Every structure is written in C-alpha cells, then in structure tokens.
Amino acid sequence: MIKKFYLLIFLSIVTCTVSYAQQSLDINFDGLGFMDNREYKDFVARSRTYSGTRTEIDLGLNLDSLNHFIVGTNMIHEFGAMPYFLKLNPVAYYKFESSHWLINIGEFPRDGLISNYPRALLNDTLMYYRPNVEGIIIRFQNKHFMINGWIDWVSRQTDVDREQFLFGTEAKYQPDLTGIFYAKYYFLLMHDAGAAILLPNDHISDNGGAQIRVGLDFSKKQHTLDSLSVEAGAMVSLERTRGVNALQTPTGFIASLYGSTGRFAAFDEFYAGKGSHINYGDAFYEKKFYNRLDLIYTPFLYKHIKGSFVFSIHKTPGYTSNQEVFRVTYDLGRKILARFKDDEK
C-alpha cells in the first residue's frame, strides 16, 4: 500500500509539471568531520569518543526548475578504523521543489529537512551514523506557516529481520513576520513489528514522542546580541507493547534559551517531568530532571566551511557530566557540469 502511495505521488508530479525548459547536470560535494568526546557519568556504556569524517557526493539531473533526480553516496570513516569506510549509504531520490512545496522520494540526506528535531526525539549521533532518510518527505510552506510529514524505513522485514519504520510530522506558525511570537510542534512514532518467522513471546511495539512549544525571538528587536530566543512547552512520549501493556504517556515540561554574538553562542535546555524512553531520542530525557548547557565557539567561519567547538554540561539528579565536541562542516554547493535542451515540444 505504501509503495503504491509513493508511485502515485511520483507519477502525479511528473505528469503535472512537465516543461521543456533548459535541463542541466550538476554535482554536489559536502561533508562533516567530528570529534565528539562524551564523559557521561549517568550512562557509562555511552561514555565514549565518536570521531571520523562523513563525505557525501552526488550528481543531479535537473529536468527543469521543479523536477530533479539525484544519485550518489554518503560515506563514513571512523578515525583508526579498518576497513577504511565503515559504511556507504546510497543517495538516490526524486525531488520536486517549488516556492511552496518540497517532495523527496528515495534515499536522501536528513540534514536541513528533519535535522532540527529536538534531541529528546532524535538524538545527535544520527548525523554521524544514519545521515539519510529512506522513504519520503512532503513539505508545504508559505510566509507564515510550514508543515511536513515523513516516513523513514529503518528495517525491512525478512525471516530474521524486524519490520521497523519511523513516521513523523513537524509544523511552525508565525502570525506576524515583524513580531517575536511563534509556535511549533514535533511528532514522531516508531512502529516495530516482528520478523516474518515469529519468535515466542515477540510483540509489536510503538514508541515515539511529541513536543509542542511556543517561542519568542528577540533577534530583530534588540541590538546587543545577534540572536536571542526563548521557547517553552510540553513533551509527551508514547510507549506501548501490544498485548503486554496499555499505551504509556509520560509527560513533562521543557524550555530552552539560545543566544549568540559574533563567534560565540550559548544554548540551555531544561526538562522536568516523568522520564521518557524514546528509542531514537537522547537517553538523558529518561531522567525526571535534566539540564543541558552548550557553550559554543566558532573560530572557522567561511563561505563554505564552518568549524565549531562545543563544551556541554549535562546535569541530572546526582550527576554532572561533560562533553567536548569539535565539528567541521563543508558544503561546496551544487556546481553545473553541463547544460542541454530537450527539443521535444
């Protein structure tokens, strides 16, 4: 059913948007270098260092200004590891993009699409080890409102592999572009079903969460800082093992503050409530109290390159942990290799 849905959307877009404008072939190259040292006293098993480079290169065939096909690969190498590339993730998707709509179908980078999800719902190691969405995303936006919906296939069902996929939605509303108020929400749910050959006492489970936030962005209303914003709202997690227990919905209060000036920035997030276990979320939110402070310095900031140091302090009941991160991102942008015209009329 889902495959038929993908195909219907794809054929509808291509049929309705065919034009004979100039076509082109382009290339894109971007990547991420990271050194992420985590000294987590709460989670000794996760107290380790992640380090390596991730490189993405692809070719794009632009049929016109709306329709695009992109094919390439996303590769990761962990420093000191053999074989050299830990994993190669294929990049292959169809993209439709207009002033209001964006639709991707296939295997496409999550960066810039769902990479802004709160860490409580999607943890920050996904940018290292699961850079792509495998499925579909549909986004609509105008000057006041944005909403998207997406499906990310995690595991295809076989005799021994489980059927697992994530689906979610996100929206933001800003009634007055010259004002400071906005509201937004995030939602995701993971469906985890058994393998084709069922094991004894195996159960289908659903796991996910949602946040709704209201925020104030003072960046345009003051001249002391480059950016200043504050958000507050509620978080709920959704946890159920079918046939074992009813739907569990731990809830809590969440608030954050962000400010930046020049090459310095600070981000603080506070959570208090019932602990939530979200499979792809940050485990710190399993605690009933959690505060994270990020102190950020960006010494390298050029047209295509950004390098930042981040020192993080994690506070939970009875523990104070620290984390030191250095990341370099580079994006050379899409470069035209060739242009040609379709002579059909």
Name the residue ranges covered by the structural domains of the chain.
2-339
- Which pair of structure tokens corresponds to residue 159? 């005799």
Strand pairing report for 251-261 and 227-241: antiparallel
pTM assigned to the model: 0.88
131-181 per-position pLDDT tens digit: 999 999 999 999 999 999 999 999 999 988 899 999 999 999 999 988 899
**The Cα angle at residue 149 between residues 138 and 292, in degrees rounded to 5:** 125
109 preceded by cis ω (within 30°)?
no
Entry field: residues in the chain: 345
Residue 225 phi, psi (nearest 5)? -115, 155
204-236 per-position pLDDT tens digit: 899 999 999 999 999 988 888 999 999 999 999
Place of tokens 């850079």: 131
Mean pLDDT of 48-77: 96
For 310-314, the CB contacts below 8 A with 24+ separation are: 314/40, 314/42, 314/284, 314/290
Q: What is the DSSP string of 153-190?
A: EEE---SSSPEEEEEEEEEEE-S-TTSSEEEEEEEEEE
| Average pLDDT of every residue of the chain | 91
Q: Quote the radius of gyration of the chain (alpha carbons, Å).
A: 22
Domain boundaries 2-339, corresponding CATH code: 2.40.160.10
3-46 per-position pLDDT tens digit: 454 454 445 444 444 444 579 999 999 999 999 999 999 887 78
CB atoms within 10 A of CB 105: 19
